[in-house]
Structure 1
Amino acid sequence: MSCACRSRASEHAARAQPQLNGNGELIHLLSVEGLPRAIVTQILDTAANFASVNDREVKKLPLLRGKSVFNLFFENSTRTRTTFEIAAKRLSADVLNLDIARSSASKGESLLDTIANLSAMAADLFVVRHGESGAPHLIARHVAPHVHVINAGDGRHAHPTQGLLDMYTIRHYKQDFSRLVVAIVGDVLHSRVARSDIHGLMTLGCAEVRVVGPRTLVPCDLAQMGVRVCHTLQEGLADADVVIMLRLQNERMSGALLPSSQEYFKCFGLTPEKLQRAKPDAIVMHPGPINRGVEIDSAVVDGRQSVILPQVGFGIAVRMAVMSIVAGNDA
């Protein structure tokens, strides 16, 4: 193959899968969808190596020393933003949290102009949360080859690091995905976490993925992906190994999709009694924020089967893994 043909093939591959370089290595993390199983496993294995950093007296590693990480959160966040900041600092990066409300974006500066100006300040890695689906992809197509982009949640599209930390949590407690029944319960229609979880579970060979919710909150195309759709909690929880609860995303809803939050809790809220339909050793997860008494009862949140707080903690190790991997690969 000529140099020109190789160049065109490389450009086509980059457009088709912008997360990977010509060698198939991760240079941006934009979505779990399309990631090879080997890369997902690499991230989880690397995170497992970083998990012990929490137990060390000195919690810093030099892997990103001299690198600048810019956190650009155009939407509110507690867990994601905080764990990204902790992860970057534990890798010895210089971290800048941009205050969007006080930035030039609030004066009408375009997203790409904001990125161009921050790139001129020697940014090496952008962590981006944005209300518009596709915003991190747009940024990744316009940054310099040495700059990396991590999607911290874009619109209703994807939340890849949350999906990966959910996979890490499941693997930590259950090990073998090929034997698992996983139920994702709630407002799947508006959930970028659910999308990332579904792609992650499929990639890792989960035996059965169930989506559970009212018809108004479940996308109509899931069955085509091999997902089992259930419209009652009783069916969805039967003999499940893992239960992932989702909050109602009222801020993304238009129109009356539910009669009331009380009616929703009656039908789809997870209580200790309803959880008994799952396996006795089933684990309960939630990406947060939790709305107690709406999608989940406090007795479940604080109960013996809940792994919600460990799930949050695992986010540090997973985000350390993602940043260290992408920063170590060239475009």
Structure 2
Amino acid sequence: MANTTWTRNHVLSLSDFTPDEYNTVLQTAASFSEVLSRRTKKVPTLQGQVVANLFFESSTRTRSSFELAAKRLSADTLNFAAATSSLTKGETILDTAKTYLAMGTDMMVIRHKESGVPSAIAQEMDRLGVKVGVLNAGDGQHEHPSQGLLDLFTICTLLNPQEPRLELLAGKKIAIVGDILHSRVARSNIWSLTASGAEVHLAAPPTLLPKLFADYGIGTGKLFLHWQIEPALQNADFVMTLRLQKERMTSHLLPSLREYHQLFGITRDRLQLCQPNVKVLHPGPVNRGVEISSDLMDDPDFSLISQQVTSGVAVRMALLYLMGSGKAGNSL
């Protein structure tokens, strides 16, 4: 378990994460990966604490992953579904959060289609003077920090299973391809990967990759924008392809899905431009045959997609542990 002192009460964005914080999450997640490999996969770390999953937007992987992570830590869980909640009767989001606070919630995991909702709830908790941690599970087109961290953990674990750490990515070339405009995952990954010293190449049609993305990124890495896929893939060590988020597109940004796949889809032929041992990631859900060819997605020699899902539980256990370790016993 990492020794660095954790001081964050909320995890809302990766834009202000420090290298030490990244490494603390990576090392803690590695410890929980070992726990998850045991026959008994449950630890009493957060026993007596309550984690509320407040998902105002649909989710499969993130919601299930956070719920399982909390249960593996022996926390009690409360699961909120917007369609069957008092929101349909006019209750506000902040009043919903306060209701869960009154039930004794210690941590809230928030997903919402609008940017800034987790931050607004965190500010309200701080205003009330309560020590309730808020974790952003994806807000609009802003960020998805736990996904960025699990992607980072997946890659670093591949490079060094015993000691995943940020500096392993220094100098690596990573291509992010797809609907970057609407992707909160891309934004979080840009922060984490450039902080590691990696060379990050974004590739998408101009309608899905505005020039404003040149202003993203921190740390010692470099960020490049491409409106053709080939320069992004050239000698890449890792390729992350993103889902076309048709539900967020308010205008016709693409001629057709077929044309998108022809120009930007990840296929075996295109991967020949990359390093011979290139690996492919996708945060899911996947539109097979659009962002990535179906056969490539299922090929364990190239695809890290199933490992990303597995990594998600360990990383979210790490985040819940770090945020809640001051409120309960923390033995593994």
TM > 0.5: yes
Secondary structure of the corresponding residue to residue 57 of structure 2: coil
Counterpart for residue 306 of structure 1:
303
Q: Given the alignment of the two structures, is residue 184 of structure 1 paired with residue 176 of structure 2, yes or no? A: yes
Counterpart for residue 157 of structure 1:
142
Identity percentage of aligned residues: 47
Secondary structure of the corresponding residue to residue 221 of structure 1: helix
Q: Alignment partner for residue 289 of structure 2, among 289, 293, 296?
A: 293
2:6·2:21 contact (CA, 8 Å) conserved in 1? no
Q: What are the equivalent positions in structure 2 for 1:212-251 lying under 5 Å apart?
A: 212-225=203-216, 226-251=222-247
- RMSD over equivalenced CA pairs, Å: 1.2
Q: Structure 2: give runs of 5+ residues left out of the alignment.
A: 161-167, 217-221, 328-332
Secondary structure of the corresponding residue to residue 179 of structure 1: coil
Query: What whole-Å deviation, never above 9, does each CA across 1:105-128 have from its counterpart, x for those lacking one?
Result: 121111111111111111111001
Task: Give the residue type in structure 1 aligned to 2:146.
Answer: T
Q: Given the alignment of the two structures, is residue 258 of structure 1 paired with residue 260 of structure 2, yes or no? A: no
Structure 1 residue 297: Cα displacement: 0.1
Task: Give the residue type in structure 2 aligned to 1:325.
Answer: L
Q: Given the alignment of the two structures, is residue 47 of structure 1 paired with residue 32 of structure 2, yes or no? A: no
2:178·2:208 contact (CA, 8 Å) conserved in 1? yes
Counterpart for residue 40 of structure 2:
58
Structure 1 residue 321: Cα displacement: 0.2
Return the alpha-carbon distance in structure 2 between the equivalents of residues 205 and 266 of structure 1: 31
- TM-score (structure 2 length as normaliser): 0.90
Return the alpha-carbon distance in structure 2 between the equivalents of residues 142 and 325 of structure 1: 21
Counterpart for residue 120 of structure 1:
102
Task: Give the residue type in structure 2 aligned to 1:261.
Answer: L
2:54·2:110 contact (CA, 8 Å) conserved in 1? yes
- TM-score (structure 1 length as normaliser): 0.90
Task: Give the residue type in structure 1 aligned to 2:197.
Answer: G
Counterpart for residue 163 of structure 2:
none
Q: Alignment partner for residue 174 of structure 1, among 140, 149, 159?
A: 159
Structure 1 residue 37: Cα displacement: 1.3
Return the alpha-carbon distance in structure 1 between the equivalents of residues 114 and 226 of structure 2: 29
Q: What are the equivalent positions in structure 2 for 1:196-215 lying under 5 Å apart?
A: 196-206=188-198, 208-215=199-206
1:27·1:329 contact (CA, 8 Å) conserved in 2? no
Structure 1 residue 139: Cα displacement: 0.4
Counterpart for residue 15 of structure 1:
none
Query: What whole-Å deviation, never above 9, does each CA across 1:2-57 have from its counterpart, x for those lacking one?
Result: xxxxxxxxxxxxxxxxxxxxx97111110111111111110111000000122211
Structure 1 residue 87: Cα displacement: 0.3
Structure 1 residue 329: Cα displacement: 4.1
Return the alpha-carbon distance in structure 1 between the equivalents of residues 153 and 215 of structure 2: 26
Counterpart for residue 275 of structure 2:
279
Return the alpha-carbon distance in structure 2 between the equivalents of residues 26 and 44 of structure 1: 16
Secondary structure of the corresponding residue to residue 80 of structure 1: helix
Return the alpha-carbon distance in structure 2 between the equivalents of residues 196 and 41 of structure 1: 16
Q: Alignment partner for residue 107 of structure 1, among 85, 89, 92?
A: 89
Q: Which runs of 4+ in 1 moved over 6 A?
A: none
Structure 1 residue 198: Cα displacement: 0.3
